Amino acid sequence: MTLPRLLLLAALSAFTSLASAQPAGPAALVSPEVHADRTVTFRIAAPKASEVTFKGDWHNDPLKMTKGADGVWSLTTGPLPPAIYIYSFTVDGIAMADPVNPRIKLRARTSGSLVEIPAETPSLAEYRDVPHGSVEINWHRATALGGKARTVWVYTPPGYSTETNRRYPVLYLLHGSNDRPVGWIDVGNIQFIADNLIAEKKAVPMVIVMAYGHALPFGQPATGPRTNTIAFEDYLLHDVMPLAESRYRILTDRAHRAIAGQSMGGEQSLHIFFNNLDRFSSAGAFSPANFRDLENQKASLLTDSAGTNAKIDVLWIGCGRQDSLFAGAEKLSGLLTAHQIRHTWYPTDGVHNYAMWRQHMIDFMPRLFQQH
């Protein structure tokens, strides 16, 4: 037997012995565990930790977890309404996702975990046995951002690949701060919402384009007048839209083009919409971050309500009453009402999470492109 083969066998033998000597991993640990009454138990094995806390996106303050004799920390919470939720652990000051839960929520920085409480009958935001569209990832160089490599996620509706002579309206859908475009897929389930609304003939088939909203590095303060919102507007108009229009069969007139987003993406959507009424006919802002441009920089749009209303097909603003941004969203709606700018104001009970934004999309999407 040759020396290399002997060395290989010795290495394999050592690896096998080492692997068999390792203690059993947390394979039997279940987290999260969704119970029949919609309460949920979360667990994490951390035998040497002195403190573990739990944070879910449906409550404000961290909750202390209890340590068992086996070194497993646990917490049961709920019952929770059927929806999807993001959560994380903090172990001795270190925030982390659930180590045994494969459903990860990626962010611009750090990550969390996902737990879904299913409804007895699948909601419009859940997978149903209907015709389904597709989601593609498009890599490109962002010329407006110095040639950085970026991804653009695109949903195409059922029938797109077979109805090759058909062109579709387009929705540019933006995410929030410390999020990524895939958040609308992994957590927002926008692909299932669109599939189901189209199947029920509540929404027209459309292409949905999702781009990365942190044009400036996340967490980096803006230097000078080029804020992240201004940089993203440049990126959207000069990179994302030309890419989408060159690779997909979408209509390019303003009547068939809409923009919407949640949180930071809601503020960006309003900014871009009111700056580009010659390009977009509709906009949606879900729990929008503080938006000041309209009153401070777009006074002419407010004073010419007839002219502004003639350019708007849909202007939709929604926010949960328990959201810290509710007061700002309500004030914005009040400003529009005071100046007779036609819009929909959609206040509901809820907080700043995708459970709320799924509801927003279900109400918003059927309103789009109905006039044309």
Last residue of a domain, one of 56, 84, 117: 117
Residues 6+ apart with CB under 8 A from 223: none
Q: Which helix (H) or strand (E) holds 314?
A: strand 314-320
User: Which range marks the domain in which residue 43 is found?
Assistant: 28-117
Helix/strand number for the chain, H first, E second: 11, 18
Kindly state the tokens that stand for 169. 């309206």
**Judging by DSSP bridges, how do beta strands 66-67 and 72-77 pair with one another?**
antiparallel
Q: Do 208 and 80 fall within a single domain?
A: no
Q: Do 45 and 141 fall within a single domain?
A: no
Kindly state the tokens that stand for 192. 């299932």
**Judging by DSSP bridges, how do beta strands 40-45 and 72-77 pair with one another?**
antiparallel
Kindly state the tokens that stand for 87. 């959560």
Strand partners, 154: 136, 209
Residue 302 CA neighbour count, 13 Å, CB half: 16
Last residue of a domain, one of 60, 92, 117: 117
Q: Do 87 and 172 fall within a single domain?
A: no
Residue 22 lies in a domain: no
Per-residue pLDDT of the chain (372 residues; tens, 9 = 90+): 444 444 444 444 443 443 343 344 445 899 999 999 999 999 999 999 999 999 999 988 899 999 999 999 999 998 999 999 999 999 999 999 999 999 999 898 889 999 999 888 999 999 999 999 999 999 999 999 999 999 999 999 999 999 999 999 999 999 999 999 999 999 999 999 999 999 999 999 999 999 999 999 887 777 777 898 999 999 999 999 999 999 999 999 999 999 999 999 999 999 999 999 999 999 999 999 977 777 777 888 999 999 999 999 999 999 999 999 999 999 999 999 999 999 999 999 999 999 999 999 999 999 999 876
Number of domains in the chain: 2
d(CA 219, CA 178): 9
User: Please, what sign has the CA dihedral across residues 51, 52, 57, 58?
Assistant: negative
- Name the nearest CA neighbour of 112 among 91, 92, 85, 93: 85
- Name the nearest CA neighbour of 114 among 122, 102, 126: 102
Residue 21 lies in a domain: no
